Structure 1
Amino acid sequence: MADRATPNLPSRDFGTTEAFYGALGFECGWRDNGWMILTRGAVQLEFFPYPDLDPAKSSFGCCIRLDDMPAMHRQAVEVGVPQTSNGFPRISDPRRELSGLDIAYLVDPDGTLVRLVQND
């Protein structure tokens, strides 16, 4: 297995988190009362319980680098993730950043910022 990192992100409710990411193509690989692991292909996100998290004050975030970021963006829009600049959850339109990367910004129900980055 190649070296890798997996983000550890907060979840106020594992059922809500699993349903949200499940609509984006993630499947549950492990879940108990203290930990949940969701996977989508080679992407793995791990979640810990944080029932008192205020999404408006969350500073959690991660990047997912994708071979077809526009497809994941379309999927998020198709399953009803709002395209707005506030609220939880939400998603932005993809755009070319000053870095030269194409990025869409997904915010999950717990206020975690997930940058969807198109691989070069």
Structure 2
Amino acid sequence: MSETITANLPSRDFARTEAFYARLGFETRFRDDGWMILGLGDTQAEFFPHPEVDPKTSWFSACLRSDDIEALHARFSGAGLPTDRLSIPRLTGIFKHASAPRMFALVDEDGSLWRVIDQGDLPG
């Protein structure tokens, strides 16, 4: 038996979301008017239409665990996203808080927060 959990995130416009994530290296695996699946390596994220989501107040989020966050951060940095604290979209540098694993954050154009977590830094 094999199970998978995927992030389900809002998209104000599938074409814009698809183009944004393509800049980060994601590929389109499925798309119709009501659903879109984008993949990166062995993982994927699913998007649903939500034209009224406000990027400034969005509370949607996902975690992406990686065994090489430096390489993934370098790849995402190639998209030229802003790095300041208020821009949407934006990309942070790699950081570590207290007992949390090393990570960086990505906020997409619809305000969804991705926590990209160093899998090697996780307990157990």
TM-score band by shorter chain is: over 0.9
Q: Give the gaps of 5 or more residues in structure 1.
A: none
8 Å contact from structure 2 (residues 38, 44) kept in 1: yes
What is the alpha-carbon distance in structure 1 between the residues aligned to residue 14 and residue 89 of structure 2?
Answer: 15
**Once the 2 structures are TM-superposed, how far is the Cα of residue 22 of structure 1 from its aligned partner?**
0.9
The runs of 4+ residues in structure 1 deviating greater than 3 Å are none
Aligned position for 1:119: 119
Work out whether 1:77 is the aligned partner of 2:77: yes
Equivalent runs, 1:86-101 vs 2, <5 Å: 86-101=86-101
Aligned position for 1:59: 59
What is the alpha-carbon distance in structure 1 between the residues aligned to residue 119 and residue 90 of structure 2?
Answer: 22
What is the alpha-carbon distance in structure 2 between the residues aligned to residue 104 and residue 88 of structure 1?
Answer: 15
What is the alpha-carbon distance in structure 2 between the residues aligned to residue 19 and residue 71 of structure 1?
Answer: 21
Work out whether 1:106 is the aligned partner of 2:106: yes
**Once the 2 structures are TM-superposed, how far is the Cα of residue 67 of structure 1 from its aligned partner?**
1.4
Aligned position for 1:28: 28
How many residue pairs align between the two structures?
A: 120
Identical columns (%): 45
What is the alpha-carbon distance in structure 2 between the residues aligned to residue 7 and residue 86 of structure 1?
Answer: 23
Root mean square deviation, CA, Å: 1.1
**Once the 2 structures are TM-superposed, how far is the Cα of residue 64 of structure 1 from its aligned partner?**
0.2
**Once the 2 structures are TM-superposed, how far is the Cα of residue 69 of structure 1 from its aligned partner?**
1.1
